[in-house]
Amino acid sequence: MMKTFSIGGIHPSDSKISKDCKIEVLPVPSKVFISVAQHLGAPATPVVKAGDQVKVGQIIAEPAGFISAYVHSSVSGTVKSVGPRKDLAGNNVTHIEIDVEGDEWAEGIDLTDTLVTEIPSDNKAILEKIKMNGVVGLGGATFPAHVKLCPPPGKKADCLILNGAECEPYLTSDYRIMLERSKEIVIGAAIMKQVLGGCPAVIGIEENKPEAIKAMSAAVAELGYPGISVMTLKKKYPQGGEKQLIDAVMGRQVKSMGLPIDVGAVVQNVATSLAVYEAVQKNMPLITNVLTVTGDCLPMDKQHNYKFRIGMPLSYVAEVAGGVPKEAAKIISGGPMMGKAIANLDATTVKGSSSLLYLTAEQTVRGVESACIRCGKCAEACPMGLEPFLLQKYARNNMMDELEENAVQDCIECGCCLYSCPANIPLLDIIRLAKGDVIRIIRGRGQK
């Protein structure tokens, strides 16, 4: 029997329309706007000013704290400005505007296609390269990778888990890199495995991606690194959730407010593993990633998986892809379950960008909300074992103590409750806002 997580979950349609679309390289625009806040933690501090000349791969912003990351120029040219610009959510965030002039790369970056298979032996040097090249988690949270690869004193990694589940409907960027860059992903896993002390590494892939399973298994066998395996997982959303993946692969549960390392797990996305390979073996900063342009309203010739450089306006990406379809009522960054509606198409690509998903009016219309009938379907679907029907009641009555006691802070915002609710109650929206309030209260309590 295929492994999966033990509590909750749902089975939305895959809708992997773009899965057979090979990765294409997006041409560089005439101008980019690079955010200094594209990782979890403190925004980076700009180290360039208007008028400065920069090369591709040059550091343009430095970490502003322990949980922060370097930001590099994705183009060569002249810095035009450093100042506020609207991000995806419409918030003002510092961006570095660069006029593109040619494509001159910083020294020391290996631009060849030669596969480098020998794993360096100096773990400190490996971690320094990962840090200096700005590698962050590309599975959603964009947590600085070098921090996650350094377990705190008293904690030990028993297993490195690579997330190849890509359980969100429509998204296919991880699937494509598993097909097209499988060896690099495995080498990245071997590098992280060594840094973590040689623990086993498991690449978890859902059963609905047989070609990816085949490609990754072949790469593991051919490269021959010990202690790396591919595990086929049952198709169930949210299989790619960090805690759900740990449950499925290791059979261990992370406690409330706990961290994966508490149960001996370190989880990285397959795209992060590719970025680790490029950083360590090629000295390549994280300035590119792959995003999917998709939607039911797009014909097949306008479905794409693009390799992009950070800082590209989303309006430019949409234009190159063939334009925003007239049937699109909403554009989502990410998948339909956990993605966010794009408030500003002039916002730019960041390290963790994963998609432009076009939804039609029919797909965005919500049913009329009615009274909760306490059927329990939301609780059955919740992969964290919460009771969403109860949490939304507490949230609507501003009952913060009760929300904390019932672990609203453990919500992973997967949307299973909303998907399963026959009363069309906007459970996710209500609980997400309440969770933010409770976490602020908890953090404030800890600072006193």
The answer to whether position 357 is within a domain reads yes
* pTM for the structure as a whole: 0.96
Q: Kindly give the pairing relationship between strand 71-72 and strand 59-62.
A: antiparallel
Same domain for 341 and 426? Answer: no
Same domain for 125 and 82? Answer: yes
CATH code: domain of residue 154: 3.40.50.11540
The answer to whether position 372 is within a domain reads no
- Domain holding 5, by residue range, is 1-365
Same domain for 419 and 317? Answer: no
Instruction: Calculate the CA 209 to chain-centre distance.
Output: 19
pLDDT at 257: 84
How many domains is the chain partitioned into structurally?
Answer: 2
Same domain for 1 and 111? Answer: yes
In the chain (448 residues long), the average pLDDT of successive 10-residue segments reads 92 97 98 96 96 98 95 98 93 97 97 97 97 94 94 95 97 98 98 97 98 98 98 97 97 93 97 98 98 97 98 97 95 94 92 96 93 96 97 96 96 96 96 95 79
- Which residues have CB under 8 Å from 74's CB, separation 6+? 32, 34, 56, 287, 288, 309, 310, 311
Is the peptide bond preceding residue 238 cis, with omega within 30 degrees of 0? yes
Last residue of a domain, one of 313, 337, 365: 365
* Nearest residue to 306 (alpha-carbon basis) of 314, 272, 298: 314
Same domain for 151 and 52? Answer: yes
What one-letter code names the amino acid at 197? G
Last residue of a domain, one of 336, 365, 394: 365
pLDDT at 448: 61
Angle made by CA atoms 385, 236, 158, in degrees to the nearest 5: 70
The answer to whether position 370 is within a domain reads no
The answer to whether position 276 is within a domain reads yes
Query: CA 22, CA 43: separation in Å to the nearest integer?
Result: 33
pLDDT at 361: 95
Q: Is the Cβ–Cβ distance between 397 and 430 less than 8 Å?
A: no
Same domain for 308 and 402? Answer: no
pLDDT at 139: 87
* Nearest residue to 317 (alpha-carbon basis) of 328, 330, 327, 304: 304
Query: CA 205, CA 164: separation in Å to the nearest integer?
Result: 5
